[in-house]
Structure 1
Amino acid sequence: MAIICIVICIADFAVLFVLGTYYPAYSQLKNTISSLGATISPVSNVISIWWIGIGIVFVFFGIIFRKAFYENPKSSRLASILIILYGMGEGIGSGLFKADRIAGKMTQSFVFHDIAGAIGLIAAVVLPLVMPKVITKENNPRFGQFSRIIFFIGLLTIAFFTIRFPAESGWISYRGLWQRLFMLNLYIYFITISIIIYQKCSTFKMK
């Protein structure tokens, strides 16, 4: 599952880029990822299925994570819940509910999409604050500092993504850019955690 998580994190960027090329006038830097899943998008169904698949992977990853770090039951349980919430919100929820607008107004599906996404994003932002209690300084001296950096970058990028800047603000108004930087930051974190889990399980098997 750790290896699958690594593959999914890398593949997601490739899939988003490739599918974006099939959407005329879609900008990877200016437009949000949710736009690819809207009903008017020519890749709507494909990206929705992809998101649901990713969500399922992260749900299972969260379950495996808890089993891998059984030494710290309380902290690993909380971290596991956050990972599962991310998978259910940003993955399954975003795939099931499309970000549709009718006459410029948000539909009920759009509202559910935003709520699910918000839950997933909050879980992702909070995760680096919990993880150092699971992977402690004794086990990995640099992981705590790495988690703080991930948290700071995640908070900064999600803030730029959330705030509505005027169109004439230049690159700072590119919501698609900030959303992708947030994802890149988070996926680097998930890949790191996956590698630690893989090494931990490999060491356990050797013993």
Structure 2
Amino acid sequence: MELVNRYGFYFLILAVISELALPFVLGHYVKGYSQTEMLISSFGETGMRTKTAFQVWEIVNGVLFILAAPAFYHHFVDTNPNVALILALFIVAFGIGDCIITGLVSRAKNSEEVGFASLLHNYASGAGFVALLLGTLLLIWLYYQEHNQVMVIAMLVIFLLAGVFMLLFAMPKIPIIKAFQVSHRGLWQRLNLLFLYLPYVLVSVSTIAKGRG
């Protein structure tokens, strides 16, 4: 556990870099792949030559996120142990839901393939997104308790941006507003992930810079 606490922030940074790089690396192997229109999970669909690479990549990233969670708990436990524990669980939830399950269970390629596995993929991924977004709220509260106004403001701005991009990404799946057609869904997914990851990267980098990681 001491080893995980010591290197957890490095695991987090490595996982985020890996997640952001994944679509651009695998995109080179899919003819006609559009980074702005197509989703990242398309790499794992049935029949895609990138399926195995995508699955392994996501499972490894999920493990890295899970290994990072104890470091966040350890870092904030003196500020608020209950909130620190929930924050760590949210990070684990993302690692399992949006990474490991996404790697193990493929998304349906078309409406005819939609079944339990595809629904599990979609809901687990969505739950992971929400977990990281709620985790940012917890970070805002923790830094507020630490009287760190700079981080509070930074986290709040990032939270709002992540929420906007999450709405744009999820709009086609929301019954009330799905009639409003939004293009470039792949772009909104990538921007959503970028701003979901950013608070945790900031925590990791700032902690490492202070020699506490």
Q: List runs of 5+ in structure 2 lacking aligned partners.
A: 1-7, 173-177
SS in 2 for 1:136: helix
In the alignment, which residue of structure 2 is the partner of 1:43? 50
Structure 1 residue corresponding to 2:20, chosen from 13, 19, 32: 13
Is 2:133 the counterpart of 1:121? no
In the alignment, which residue of structure 1 is the partner of 2:59? 52
Is 2:37 the counterpart of 1:27? no
Equivalent residue runs for 1:167-186 within 5 Å: 172-186=182-196
SS in 2 for 1:163: helix
Within 1, Cα distance between the matches of 2:203 and 2:85?
Answer: 15
Within 1, Cα distance between the matches of 2:147 and 2:54?
Answer: 39
In the alignment, which residue of structure 1 is the partner of 2:116? 108
Within 1, Cα distance between the matches of 2:38 and 2:110?
Answer: 18
Within 2, Cα distance between the matches of 1:48 and 1:14?
Answer: 15
Equivalent residue runs for 1:137-152 within 5 Å: 138=146, 140-152=148-160
Within 2, Cα distance between the matches of 1:103 and 1:151?
Answer: 33
Is 2:127 the counterpart of 1:133? no
State the Cα distance separating 1:139 from its structure 2 match. Answer: 5.0
Q: List runs of 5+ in structure 1 lacking aligned partners.
A: none
The 8 Å contact of residues 65 and 197 in structure 1, kept in 2 or not, is answered as no
Normalising by structure 2, what TM-score? Answer: 0.85
Runs of 4+ in structure 1 over 4 Å off: none
* Identity within the alignment, %: 26
Aligned residues: 200
State the Cα distance separating 1:45 from its structure 2 match. Answer: 0.8
SS in 1 for 2:39: coil
The 8 Å contact of residues 101 and 107 in structure 1, kept in 2 or not, is answered as no
Normalising by structure 1, what TM-score? Answer: 0.88
SS in 2 for 1:31: coil
